Amino acid sequence: MDCLKKKIVEEGKVLSPSVIKVDAFLNHQIDPVLMKEIGEEFASRFKELGITKVLTLESSGIAPAQMTALSLGVPAIFARKKKSLTMKDHLYTSKVHSFTKQETNEISISKDFMTEDDHVLILDDFLANGQAAKGLIDLIEQSGASIAGVAIVIEKGFQDGGRLLRRQGIKVESLATLSSLEGSTITFETQEVSS
Ligand code: 5GP
């Protein structure tokens, strides 16, 4: 997706050979026009699959997930990383190790919002080692729902997550795939990989 790649090049900041900061349009300040385009692009890639819910993880997945859900005409759900007073029981839970924060969170969603009748699109801002996607898959499987695919805004092709998911036969669509951040240079895979 060219407008996203342009934004990554112009506004992304390479923090290390494996981490890029995109706080200017996705992870802190949010570009709503770009989010709308992202939502429309994901909807066009997954529209034939009979999706009933879009599932993401708080907080950075929420903006693109909401716009994708809007375009698909279905609800978006975000898994919470902390239990709240109003959300203690009746939950599906899983553990996710965060690549950027180097901590493990127990993520959860209410059993009220996912059932075996659902066909769910997982969406996240980044795909690195696939831990977040793995946790979200676990929540879906606990509910008896099925997985339609995984939608990723920025995939880091030099980490293993994409390969692991595709090897399981899951349809993974990434809008920008980075092949390297070495020497603070942002390089994209020329051909986007999709299953
Ligand atoms: P994974 O679970 O696939 O290892 O990592 C994906 C999660 O870690 C995403 O939800 C995202 O929040 C975070 N993440 C991974 N790599 C990066 C990165 O290079 N930059 C930013 N901003 N977040 C990342």
Ligand 1 center from residue 74 Cα (angstroms): 25
Ligand 1 atom showing the smallest separation from residue 134 Cα: 2
Model confidence at 100, pLDDT cuts 50, 70, 90, reads confident
- Alpha carbon of residue 24 to chain centroid: 18
Model confidence at 191, pLDDT cuts 50, 70, 90, reads low
What ipTM describes this predicted complex?
0.99
What pLDDT, on a 0 to 100 scale, did the predictor assign at position 49?
Answer: 97
Q: Is 60 a pocket residue for ligand 1 (Cβ < 6 Å)?
A: yes
pLDDT tens digits, one per residue of 15-74:
999 999 999 999 999 999 999 999 999 999 999 999 999 999 999 999 999 999 999 999
Q: Atom 12 (ligand 1): residue with closest C-alpha?
A: 126
For the chain, the average pLDDT equals 95
pTM value?
A: 0.95
102 pLDDT exceeds 70? yes
* Domains with residue ranges and CATH for the chain: 2-188 (3.40.50.2020)
Q: What is the SS3 assignment for 117-156?
A: CCEEEEEEEEECCCHHHHHHHHHHHHHCCEEEEEEEEEEE
Ligand 1 center from residue 22 Cα (angstroms): 11
43 is in an annotated binding site: no
Q: Is 131 a pocket residue for ligand 1 (Cβ < 6 Å)?
A: yes
Summarize the confidence of residues 157-163 as an average pLDDT.
Answer: 97
What pLDDT, on a 0 to 100 scale, did the predictor assign at position 31?
Answer: 98
Ligand 1 center from residue 110 Cα (angstroms): 24
Q: Is 21 a pocket residue for ligand 1 (Cβ < 6 Å)?
A: yes
Ligand 1 atom showing the smallest separation from residue 18 Cα: 19
pLDDT tens digits, one per residue of 63-77:
999 999 999 999 999
Report CA-CA distances (Å) from 161 to 12, 130, 142, 177. 21, 4, 21, 12
